[in-house]
A and B are shown apart, each in its own frame.
Chain A
Amino acid sequence: MNKSDNPGLYIHIPFCRSKCLYCDFYSVVSPAAVPAWLEAIQREIPLYNERFQTFDSLYLGGGTPTILAERELAALLECVHRYFAFSPDSEITIEANPEGLNTDKLKTIRDLGVNRVSLGVQSLDDGDLKYLGRRHGSKQALRALHMVRSCGFADVGADLMYGLETQSLRGWKRTVDRVLEFKPEHISCYQMTFEPGAAMWKMKAAGQVRPIAKKLESAFFIWTSRYLGRHGYHHYEISNFAKSPEFMCRHNRKYWSHTPYLGLGPSAHSFQAGRRWWNVRSVEKYCRLLGEGRAPVESAEVLSGEQLELESLLLGFRTSDGADFHASGGRLRAGEALSELQKAGLVKVSNGRIKPTRKGFLVADGIPLMFCGQ
């Protein structure tokens, strides 16, 4: 459900008021560059005119998309709609941070056609938020959740993080409970990871911060899955929970099923017909290339059959849908590996698909290798 073959459109808005310590997504803290970026993306959009079918999802991600002024957002969406066709029931998401939100802005966003808000709550514990280098506090996050709801958004997602060294399981439960009070349609629970591009990577190397024990990570993960399950949420991907199937994020599911997507803006990735390409990871370069009338593409790859197969396994085992047993020309030579995995309670087979169990999710990265090669 909430899955289609129509392409999705992603727009990367690479601006933040400050960099969060854990984040490795591309963004810059230079509001002065916004106008140039806006001009550039308005040049990028026409490059893909008529190159994609009708879209049925749009995702405004970042960075911090809500950093854009209302008129800037309006200009961006106006341009998007001028060149791209969207189906009437499209899922249109904007990522938002609790700080700098106000009712007027949210209403404008809603009026621009955005029907889904993904709010970067991360935690409702001030200690955690400080640890992560977030600009907002827990009260602000709660206010923001209220505000989004009151502005009439019927599809609200909360992004949370767990497995922080500042966080106990009890503290995590407190955050989850308070978020559940708002009955969000969608909850993403990301385990804290240390990425090479993030500030915390260096802090970890310097011994200032450290990951929690693997055992504890597993416990957080299993607890979260069970607890949200008990509250009616469907654990449909490693880090994602939906209140009901129609609230699974349509856009993100395209990434996981090789459905075409177009990514615009610096560092955005696109995929179409077995080809993946990605934009330069620099606002300045991005603007310059488009200024010269050139596509801001950094590089591209054409996936071989084998690579597509490997990806569909790696992506498949990250979702509750699992991987098609009969797919890939019968190359899924499961045999004994499958029976061992079943015995170990990591996968189950139903409707011709191999699906990871909750425990299987924990080792999802290792499962594809069991089925390929030899």
Chain B
Amino acid sequence: MINKQIRNFSIIAHIDHGKSTLADRLIQHAGLVNERQFRDQILDNMDIERERGITIKSQTVLLSYTSKSGEAFELNLIDTPGHVDFHYEVSRALASCEGVLLLVDASQGVQAQTIANLYAAMEHDLTIIPVINKIDLPSADIDAAKEQIEHDLGLDPEQAILCSAKEGIGIEDVLEAIVTLIPEPPGDVEKPLAALIFDAHYDPFRGTIVSCRVFNGAVRPGEVIRLMFNGTAHKVEEVGVFRLSREPRGELSAGSVGYMIAGIKTVADVRIGDTITLDSNPVSSPLPGFKDVKPVVFSSIYPMSSDDYPSLVDSLERYKLNDAALVYQKDSSIALGQGFRCGFLGLLHLEIVQERLEREFDQSIIMTVPSVRYRFALLDGSEITVENPQYYPDPTLIKSSAEPFIKAAIIIPERYMGVVIKLCLERRGANPKIDYPTPARVEISFDMPLAEVVFDFYDKLKTVTQGYGSFDYELIEYRQSDLVKLDILVNGERVDALSLIVHRDRAREWGVQVCDRLKEEIPRHNFKIAIQGAIGGKIISRSTISPFRKDVTAKCYGGDITRKRKLLEKQKKGKKRMKMIGSVMIPQSAFVSVLKARDE
């Protein structure tokens, strides 16, 4: 028998439409925290998440709710990450739900992300409850929001619940809608165990904590489970549910969402989307939708000071415990010394790794210019893959080269069609297809080189569509492409960490962009700095940083000396975040930012 009193749901919204605030209110309403403990945005508990206002690691929480009809329910709120880099994690989290609350800001109405999220929820055939939030704002226009819900989303506006998460208005209505509108979970406890892994966290004391949704069967401590991806068996130590902390239970059965601790050492030993079954009574086939997520963006991490290499080794090992998506191996560079070549899901993932290594592990690091993975067929018949421009083969030995292509799916209001098509064509997009899923909305699909989209395409798209563009992509295949290596010279010295592999036709453009960006990134020195882009021996672009004219204070006597020294000490600290290449100080941020186009 399945527990009919369970509801599994997620909240989806455009950024800043109040997802975290609503989640917090629901948690508060369920009595998990009292007013004093109530800290804003309980679920977003990483610093980065709070600052950027996005969810990176999803969190789950079980809320108890007694409905108006007096029935007691267990509501599993499954939080989802909010960026295209984590598209797959989102899809697994949604696969664990039966319904979603689709949040719309009463003053801003339906936005790009709202639509993208709606599509994702539709894909999983989830019940969608529109919620109009921030109705307390003076600028709230509920009628307009309702009209957009009907026209742009094709949902029943009369079903929309009005609330203000901030003021605590309408929270009861939201909870009531969850239990009445979202169906009870399907499944059968008698069938063999099938549980979907939708997340995994690392706990220094317990090892990997697997978040899962049980679809069939049940699992109890003491039983031996099998991870279907790699067939490994693990003895279950503990199962339970997520309150604000973990709460052990006797079992997890069909329909429920919870955690499992089974002596799994690192999160890299489990795969998001994998199916857990019982070793003694396995299911015949895993749950659908599993993908082994592979890194698509590569960059090397180096310590700012080579003395810190051992500490970086240790930090990466510890970081990796909690981020299965990061892969790395040893690397070295003439300019930067010993480091690691790392693979990431996308540029945001890369930035998150960088920030977390710095904040949580106190590492001072440099990341080199990101790259995708290229293939080269050589004249001797061999084929090599290169994701580090340093290893670009001798051009005279190359027979052909290929780069990964993606299929990009972009959804935008019709009025942005022109600028978006132009942007895609600039990025070597080909084979366009145009669809009209709902009136006034266009879905454009393009085949594009991955290298042209991973770095800043999404940011650029958001800029040209004023935030209305949603973007998703999937890798399709490698295609032949004329690839060259662009070297960057700083004061005549080649900086290997700044090299990149580019398409020949785009080489000049990239060369100009990188030189311009470096000109902005590198501070003025007291001598002139020349930055050049070169292919082979040929200079194709250049920029010059002129020296600063004057930087001296008039007076320096007794008391001033302490003050001046303190100022200098501060600057020296800032300088630590710069890397000395030859005689030029290059800021840590320069390496990654050279590939980002400027905001115009």
Report the Cα distance A252→B557, complex, angstroms: 7
Query: Is the CB–CB distance between B554 and A369 below 8 Å?
Result: no
Whether A276 is near chain B, meaning CB under 8 Å from some CB there, is yes
Q: Does B52 contact A (CB under 8 A)?
A: no
Shortest C-beta distance, A286 to chain B (Å), equals 15
Whether A341 lies near B527 (C-beta < 8 A) is: yes
What is the CB-to-nearest-CB distance from B335 to chain A, in angstroms, rounded to a whole number? 13
Chain B: interface secondary structure?
A: loop
Distance in Å: Cβ of A199 to nearest Cβ of chain B: 17
Quick check: B562 and A344 within 8 Å, CB to CB?
no
Within 8 A of A (CB), among B541-574: 547-559, 561-562, 564-565, 568-569, 571-572
B249 located at the interface, meaning its Cβ lies under 8 Å from any Cβ of chain A in the complex: no
Interface presence of B526 (CB below 8 A): yes
| A245: min CB distance to chain B, Å | 20
The answer to the question of B206 belonging to the interface, with a C-beta cut-off of 8 Å to chain A, is no
Closest to A238 in B: B552
In the assembled complex, A322 has its CB within 8 A of some CB on chain B: no
Question: Is B553's CB under 8 angstroms from A369's CB?
Answer: no
Of A217, A238, A364, A369, the contact of B571 (CB 8 Å cutoff) = A369
Set B491, B550, B551, B556: member contacting A255, Cβ < 8 A: B556
Report Cα–Cα, A340/B547, bound state, in Å: 12
A214 to B572 alpha-carbon distance, docked (Å) = 24
Known interface pairs A310-B572, A314-B568. Does A363 touch B558 (Cβ–Cβ under 8 Å)? no
Closest CB in chain B relative to A160 CB, distance in Å: 11
User: Quick check: B558 and A362 within 8 Å, CB to CB?
Assistant: no
Complex contact A269–B565 (CB within 8 A): no
* B575 partner residues in chain A, CB cutoff 8 A: 369, 373
Taking a contact as CB atoms under 8 Å apart, the answer to whether B583 and A336 are in contact is yes
Q: What bracket does the count of chain B residues touching chain A fall in?
A: 20 to 34
B76 to chain A: closest CB distance in Å?
Answer: 52
Q: In the complex, what's the smallest C-beta–C-beta distance from A60 to chain B, in angstroms?
A: 14
* Cβ of B528 under 8 Å from chain A: yes
Q: Contact at B561–A311, with CB atoms within 8 Å?
A: yes
Q: Would you call A217 and B550 a contact (CB within 8 A)? A: yes
Q: Nearest Cβ distance between residue B302 and chain A, in whole angstroms?
A: 14
Chain A residue with the shortest CB-CB distance to B567: A365
Asked whether B576 lies within 8 Å of A373 as measured between CB atoms, the reply is yes
Interface centre among B548, B558, B562 (most CB of A within 10 A): B558
Interface residues of A in 131-173 (CB under 8 A from B): none
Q: Which residues of A contact B557 (CB under 8 A)?
A: 252, 255
The closest CB in chain A to the CB of B556 belongs to A318
Task: Flag whether A37 is at the interface (Cβ < 8 A).
Answer: no
**Pair A190/B550 contact, Cβ less than 8 Å:** no
Interface residues of B (CB under 8 A from A): 305, 491, 525-528, 547-559, 561-562, 564-565, 568-569, 571-572, 575-576, 580, 582-583
Spell out A's residues near B (CB within 8 Å). Answer: 10, 190-193, 214-215, 217-218, 221, 238-239, 252, 255-256, 261, 263, 267-271, 276, 278, 301, 307, 310-311, 314-315, 318, 335-337, 339-341, 343-344, 346, 360-370, 372-374
Q: Which 9 pairs between the two chains have the least Cβ-Cβ distance?
A: A344-B527, A269-B558, A336-B583, A340-B583, A269-B559, A363-B526, A191-B554, A364-B552, A190-B554
Seed contacts A363-B551, A365-B564, A374-B305; 16 additional CB < 8 Å A-B pairs: A10-B558, A193-B554, A238-B554, A261-B558, A267-B559, A278-B562, A301-B562, A310-B568, A310-B569, A310-B572, A336-B582, A363-B547, A363-B549, A363-B550, A365-B568, A372-B572
